[in-house]
Amino acid sequence: MNHELQRGFIIMLTVTGLSKTYGRQILFDNVSFSINPGERIGLTGRNGSGKTTLFRLMLGEEEPDSGEIRIPNGYTVQYLSQHINFTKSSVLEEACLDLKAAEDGRDETYRVKSILSGLGFSQSEFHRNPRHLSGGFQVRLNLAKILASEPNLLLLDEPTNYLDIVSVRWLIQFLRTWKDELILITHDRTFMNSVTTHTMGIHRQSIRKIAGSTEKLYQQIIQDEEVCEKTRANDERKTKEIELFVNRFRAQASRAKAVQSKIRMLEKREKREKLTELPELDFTFNPAPFPGKWLVEADDVSFSFSDDALPLIHAFKIAVKKNDRIAIIGKNGKGKTTLLNLLAGEFQPGQGEIRYNQNLKLAYFGQTNVARLDPDKTVLEEVLNAHPAHSLGSARGICGSMMFDGDNALKKVSVLSGGEKSRVLIGKLLVSPANLILLDEPDNHLDTESIDSLIAAVDTFTGAVLFVTHSEMILRAIATRLIVFDNGKISVFEGTYDEFLERIGWEDEKSIAKTTNEKTIEPQNKVSRKDMRRVRARLIESRSKVLGPLQQEIESLEKAITRLENRIEDDNQSLIRASNVGDGRTITSLSISIHNSKIEIERLFDELDRLAGEHHRKSMEFEEQFNALEQV
Ligand SMILES: Nc1ncnc2c1ncn2[C@@H]1O[C@H](COP(=O)(O)OP(=O)(O)OP(=O)(O)O)[C@@H](O)[C@H]1O
Ligand SMILES: [Mg+2]
């Protein structure tokens, strides 16, 4: 069945009377909803509420206890998993894995290549081993795989985990132009609201769907719960009144009839349960005393993965103080995790030295540690494992504060949701006292309420915290110093994230350029004309070194945009011809090509914008320096 015919459906997917339990845990109780054409739905709910499970039910990977999910014939559903699992040895092969075999045996790899390029992979990366990619690029590869298979319904489970701010922007643009249906799970509400038309929330074992944003949904839920609570309190008061009546007049024969009828009323009354409080994560880190001042000092540290590659980290210096709150920020694949690994002593620097205070007690929440959890162990065993000498009682206590109380502590890691796994990792950190905590994107997978608890715990911790996050909300709430990976450099910024944005900003080397150039100009006051000329010549040289390549990049971007615009023009002409003869297949493939070109143009324009801005800033700086030179 071709695509055009499918769009004739009125309802794409219907769920009726769906129930699902795991043991004593009820996830869904008699849930019904449907998905209509063109809807982009945000799916929200606390960690462990069953979002991923709902996807698995839709895909038929999991059976409901009762109820059904109906999907029209020929309607295809694809899933971006929260967990990453690669089987091929190259990026390109992996991306081609889910390609539908083309009916005429055409080679479709070119299309996959263009999707990969759109997602920021360079040609040379096509042959890399997917497992060697950084977390962010692994997510992009997963996404490329699915986009290549062109489903009707796209299911995305937390696609922004491990994605940097720039890639998230790209993804928003892409998803907003998605022509069919999609359901998106993310704990990032801003991201969700900028992509979706509808919101669906899992709350107290049921599902509610509305047109509009998450805020609207949660407002409705709060209102309903208030009404529900008022009705319950009212009911309770009435029941009490009836009971009083019955007790008072029970003994009077003249009222026997009335009493009997009241008793029947009582029996018929349904008792409304008070809504239970939803559990919240509540914990503090376990502080180790620290008598000194500096915990760790990195001195001119450089590191690269291979000898011929440019160093990922070059001449890096920092001293970490007792109460520091340092955020490490920068795009995917720039070396943030590597830096944490160096500071944690898991990698050795190629050059320079890292000195540790003898009283240092370190705890490390690694980005890949989720994968190190043993699927066959229980939550309790994992926590005990972090420190075998620990008593069972205190391990139970830690499980409880991570919301695994009672039998929940005996759940196997293999069945845990993404957020639950993150909570196990935090629990393991709490076992041993620490005075330096390293956190690598701890907020991935955690729901908003849990992120608030995490921030509160960091706030009250007496030791130092070094963390990587892409969440601007967390950066603002915690960071007082920054390690910035930007424009191929790594530098320390003494200030908050807002101060950084205000004074420096991303992709802006102003301060660095200034300091180096100031050094050249400094000895001007007492120099001879000859020296002045030399300085001027050097300045001209350095201007063309800086502006030349920028100009070249700008020109090649402009050419690429013109090429793409011409291609769209040609495609449009062909599209008219194909429409005239009713060639459905060509129409589809041309529409895709036009769509992809538009997205690529959008990306190139963004890049152009950035480069033009940088070119302008740099030119102004040189201008100022020439002026300064004139005045000497
Ligand atoms: N096979 C299973 N056996 C037992 N319990 C399970 C199984 N699969 C999932 N669960 C439990 O069901 C609940 C829902 O899991 P699910 O992965 O759907 O949550 P989620 O809403 O996606 O959460 P998160 O936001 O953390 O990703 C969790 O408490 C999980 O531990
Ligand atoms: Mg999940």
pTM over 0.75: no
Q: Candidates 65, 416, 446: which one to mutate for ligand 1, based on the most atoms within 8 Å of Cβ? A: 416
Q: Residues 526-540: pLDDT tens digits? A: 445 656 666 777 777
Residue whose pair of structure tokens reads 């926590």 in the numeric block? 383
Buried b (16+ CB within 10 A) or exposed e, 332-355: bbbbbbbbbbbbbeebebbebebe
* Bridge partners, residue 42, by sequence: 184, 199
Provide the terminal-to-terminal Cα distance of the chain, rounded to the nearest Å. Answer: 78
Q: Would you tell me how many other CB atoms lie within 10 Å of the CB of residue 495?
A: 15
SS3 191: helix
Q: Residues 249-281: pLDDT tens digits? A: 788 777 788 888 888 888 887 777 788 888 888
Q: What is the pLDDT of residue 263?
A: 85
Q: Which of 136, 122, 211, 130 is nearest to 170 (CA)?
A: 136
Segment (H or E) for 70: strand 66-70
CATH 3.40.50.300 fits 294-511, yes or no: yes
Q: What is the pLDDT of residue 524?
A: 33
SS3 327: strand
Average pLDDT over residues 188-198: 90
Q: Would you tell me how many other CB atoms lie within 10 Å of the CB of residue 458?
A: 19
Strands 66-70 and 13-22: antiparallel
Closest atom of ligand 1 relative to the 56 alpha carbon: 18
Instruction: Give every strand in the sheet of 294-303, ordered side by side.
Output: 313-321, 294-303, 351-356
Ligand nearest to the CA of 403: 1
The three-point CA angle 448-449-450 to 5° equals 90
| Distance between Cα 427 and ligand 1 center (Å) | 18
Closest atom of ligand 1 relative to the 420 alpha carbon: 26
Q: How many residues does the chain have?
A: 632
Strands 436-440 and 362-365: parallel
**Are 403 and 409 in contact, with CB atoms under 8 Å apart?**
no
| Distance between Cα 52 and ligand 1 center (Å) | 7
- Where is pLDDT greater, at 304 or 167? 304
DSSP letter for each residue of 371-400: HHS-TTSBHHHHHHHT-TTS-HHHHHHHHH
Ligand 1 site residues, Cβ closer than 6 angstroms: 22, 25, 27, 45, 47-53, 82, 411, 415-420, 445, 447
Q: Residues 276-333: pLDDT tens digits? A: 888 888 899 999 999 889 999 999 999 988 776 778 899 999 999 999 999 999 877 7
Q: What is the pLDDT of residue 515?
A: 31
**Are 274 and 450 in contact, with CB atoms under 8 Å apart?**
no
SS3 523: helix
**CA distances in angstroms from 108 to 104, 139, 376, 420, 584, listed in the order given:** 11, 22, 40, 39, 18
| Distance between Cα 474 and ligand 2 center (Å) | 21
Q: How far is residue 406 CA from its own chain's centroid? A: 31
| Distance between Cα 53 and ligand 1 center (Å) | 6
d(C-alpha 245, C-alpha 157), whole Å: 56
Q: Residues 60-102: pLDDT tens digits? A: 999 999 999 999 888 999 988 767 788 999 999 999 887 766 5
pLDDT band at 5 (very low <50, low <70, confident <90, very high): very low
Q: What is the pLDDT of residue 523?
A: 31
**What is the sign of the dihedral through the CA atoms of 513, 516, 520 and 521?**
positive
For residue 519, pLDDT beyond 60 = no
Q: What is the pLDDT of residue 81?
A: 74
Average pLDDT over residues 142-147: 87
The three-point CA angle 460-465-469 to 5° equals 110
Q: Which CATH superfamily is domain 3-217 in?
A: P-loop containing nucleotide triphosphate hydrolases (3.40.50.300)
**CA distances in angstroms from 453 to 71, 201, 443, 449, 459, listed in the order given:** 40, 21, 11, 7, 10
Q: Which of 290, 425, 302 is nearest to 364 (CA)?
A: 425
Q: Which of 266, 488, 286, 268 is nearest to 394 (CA)?
A: 286
The three-point CA angle 604-610-612 to 5° equals 100
Q: Candidates 417, 422, 454: which one to mutate for ligand 1, based on the most atoms within 8 Å of Cβ? A: 417
| Distance between Cα 231 and ligand 2 center (Å) | 34
* Bridge partners, residue 199, by sequence: 42, 210
**Are 172 and 430 in contact, with CB atoms under 8 Å apart?**
no
- Where is pLDDT greater, at 389 or 195? 195
**Are 276 and 205 in contact, with CB atoms under 8 Å apart?**
no
Q: What is the pLDDT of residue 398?
A: 92
d(C-alpha 247, C-alpha 292), whole Å: 72
d(C-alpha 483, C-alpha 326), whole Å: 7
Q: Which of 544, 551, 386, 363 is nearest to 458 (CA)?
A: 363
**Are 436 and 461 in contact, with CB atoms under 8 Å apart?**
no
Q: What is the DSSP letter of 481?
A: E
Mean pLDDT of the chain: 85
**Are 155 and 55 in contact, with CB atoms under 8 Å apart?**
yes
Average pLDDT over residues 13-18: 96
**Are 84 and 142 in contact, with CB atoms under 8 Å apart?**
yes
